[in-house]
Structure 1
């Protein structure tokens, strides 16, 4: 937490890199001249400090750049990666920043150069903000856009550019997020997808992140016909990674979770009966995840997918090293994966890792020929038209993940419930005053 705030001071001292072709650091419409001076106020979820969020009022966003689109939000959600912000472990989050990187809504106003969307269109936003024109965007690697994040520390740490991301700190450009009633979408022609009438918001919303992230994890890691796949993390992305692994031809999929999240194993198995599960908090005495997987799959799985994240330390050494700022992420899950899979297997990392991890078993990686693949933030725009068609053809049903429908006013309680992995809460649909009535199959409204 202290390191995160220190990073803000360093960034201000060093200055931005001036590579962005869009106005960055519009993280709160009450700052500067980024909100409308008069007229209605909007509600938005803002970070107020470690483990603290509030729904506050602020000015309505306005068009800042010519390609901006102002979207009236009809649905948003909370993601496991939002908890990294909640905990204060993502660098350069500032008090008052608007959170949320997954949202859908209706276009209200467009900038003068916008051509693909118009007022009244139903749309979903991609969480990575792309320009559509740079070298990486031309290759559809939109999450590595070179022109939407001019943060100097990000570039220095990673040695390359990453795209801006909605609601995910100044480390990723400082863009206000979508857990709000309105949101400014830069480069709206690139970062918004129109939703057809036969796809309700409760399904279309999840094209913004979870569906594309899970699909990218599976195809980028190279799950093939006949593979045995092990997946760490039974949240919504892990759930969809199970489904996509089977659709890519995997013969067996084994899902690993435990502790407060162990209930999710049974939840997902009820949706996908052929799934196999391992509860790490209920292993036989003397057994480990590695030994269990070797018993279940002689020689070990062909593919391992990390859908959990690096901030959750299991052992005391990593717990204190993270606490003292000696590392940002634990290597424990990565080491489990390396020792669990067969030689020359493939490992994909989709769970968020911010920076550095100690005690990484690089020897086992090299000596056994493991292919370690950082999947990166998903290039949503590469996949979302294909995934939209899968939804329309009923080949995937995002509502299989959705267990709750709550109001924007309840975001503080929702973050707390998500933090404790409240039993029965998998994926949530967050409504605003502009939301449509619940679609068929959507959960009824719950008051938290």
Structure 2
């Protein structure tokens, strides 16, 4: 089959690779009909996530048709149309039983690698380094899906792929980011990052009852997308974000702040950007945490900072004094996608949200290398790319 493979920093290639096969009685094999390039894929592309190996198949947002099932998979049959969540979860461990699927205790066969960096291991993730399981990803014609009796959700109506594909990751991620804010009527929420996850966080915050949502980015087309989702916007290259948020909230600050950017944030002050960029390039820290620092400083006293942007390891100059002295709550996590599949599918069916609004480009799988460059460099107002194998 054909698959998009990581070949080194800033290099991916679509190559012929062996077809996946059933390895465990709870596996399924899915013929992929739609897959996508995610912003967190760029962390792999840029070389900031450790334990990648040449030839690894990328991609964790995918859906398709079941073509084979293991003998212990009773919930799926050949021919079923499914969306596959990006975290791989067993459904039986303590974490899964508490709905915390992205920290499943049984799905990461390389837990020891992650423990060296993180203390404890999260779940396995499709196409996202050997530290997170070494599972081949979904930017391919076929994928093996472990624990197929737990993860995939069947799409049993005629909803097109583009309306349901993002149940695999970015729609639940944006929803969870807003949910962690404990939104109450009248609240003001600030969202850093107007990419697809940030746009879904904006839409989710309004669906949960927020009165105002303010979105911060620097690319005009992304800010326009956030405005279409209902947000007020700030271009951080044109204003001082902390001052602007104080002015917009009568000096109080947002009730909650969402970091939808993560480890490769940009900063308009050259000296600040150079400091973290140099340390990151030298592997003295793994993150550029400007957004996280700013979100903590901006949030009102007693507020919540919700972190859904991906971080990989260690960061410098964390404002712990602000967090502690002002009674802030910090919440974070890779999304527990399985928890949200049915509720969000129901919202799509009811017309509460149409996730396809984030799609800007559609390409063949063979065009994935060009797609990665477009997405990374924001060419042609690239917001979200869907690939068709």
TM-score range, shorter chain: over 0.9
Q: CA deviation at 1:198?
A: 2.8
SS at match of 1:146: coil
Is the contact made by 1:313 and 1:319 (CA closer than 8 Å) also made in structure 2?
no
Does 2:251 match 1:277?
no
Superposed CA deviations along residues 410-447 of structure 1, whole A, max 9, x for unmatched, are 00000000000224321222112xxxxxxxxxxxxxxx
Q: 2:178 — aligned with what?
A: 218
Does 2:346 match 1:389?
yes
Superposed CA deviations along residues 153-188 of structure 1, whole A, max 9, x for unmatched, are 212322223100000010100000000000000011
Q: Which runs of 4 or more aligned residues in structure 1 lie more than 4 Å from their structure 2 counterparts after TM superposition?
A: none
C-alpha distance in 1, partners of 2:165/2:290?
33
Is the contact made by 1:126 and 1:192 (CA closer than 8 Å) also made in structure 2?
yes
Q: 2:215 — aligned with what?
A: 255
Task: Answer with 1 or 2: which has the greater Rg.
Answer: 1
Q: CA deviation at 1:311?
A: 2.4
Is the contact made by 1:198 and 1:392 (CA closer than 8 Å) also made in structure 2?
no
Q: CA deviation at 1:326?
A: 1.1
C-alpha distance in 2, partners of 1:160/1:408?
35
Higher mean C-alpha deviation, range 295-304 or range 228-237: 295-304
Q: CA deviation at 1:113?
A: 0.9
Superposed CA deviations along residues 9-61 of structure 1, whole A, max 9, x for unmatched, are xxxxxxxxxxxxxxxxxxxxxxxxxxxxxxxxx10000000000000011211
Q: 1:105 — aligned with what?
A: 64
Q: 1:171 — aligned with what?
A: 131
C-alpha distance in 2, partners of 1:280/1:220?
24
Q: 2:242 — aligned with what?
A: 290
SS at match of 1:281: coil
SS at match of 2:57: coil
Alignment of 1:90-101 (within 5 A): 90-101=49-60
Alignment of 1:78-227 (within 5 A): 78-151=37-110, 152-227=112-187
Normalised by the length of structure 1, the TM-score is: 0.84
Q: 1:347 — aligned with what?
A: 305
Q: CA deviation at 1:313?
A: 4.8
**How many residues are matched?**
382
SS at match of 1:254: strand
C-alpha distance in 2, partners of 1:403/1:333?
25
Does 2:257 match 1:304?
yes
Q: 1:240 — aligned with what?
A: 200
C-alpha distance in 1, partners of 2:377/2:176?
27
SS at match of 2:199: helix
Superposed CA deviations along residues 188-213 of structure 1, whole A, max 9, x for unmatched, are 11111101223211111111001111
Is the contact made by 1:199 and 1:391 (CA closer than 8 Å) also made in structure 2?
no
Superposed CA deviations along residues 320-349 of structure 1, whole A, max 9, x for unmatched, are 111111111123212211221211111001
1:323 corresponds, among 259, 281, 297, to 281
Consecutive unaligned residues of structure 2, counting only runs of 5 or more, are: 268-272
Q: 1:71 — aligned with what?
A: 30
Is the contact made by 2:170 and 2:196 (CA closer than 8 Å) also made in structure 1?
yes
Q: What's the C-alpha RMSD, in Å, of the aligned pairs?
A: 1.1
Is the contact made by 2:253 and 2:300 (CA closer than 8 Å) also made in structure 1?
yes
C-alpha distance in 2, partners of 1:351/1:244?
16
Superposed CA deviations along residues 127-173 of structure 1, whole A, max 9, x for unmatched, are 00001111111111111100011321212322223100000010100
SS at match of 1:256: strand
SS at match of 1:333: helix
2:363 corresponds, among 406, 412, 417, to 406
Q: CA deviation at 1:223?
A: 2.1
Consecutive unaligned residues of structure 1, counting only runs of 5 or more, are: 1-41, 433-448
Superposed CA deviations along residues 205-251 of structure 1, whole A, max 9, x for unmatched, are 11100111111111123222211000000000100100010111110
Higher mean C-alpha deviation, range 199-208 or range 68-77: 199-208
SS at match of 1:419: helix
SS at match of 2:213: strand
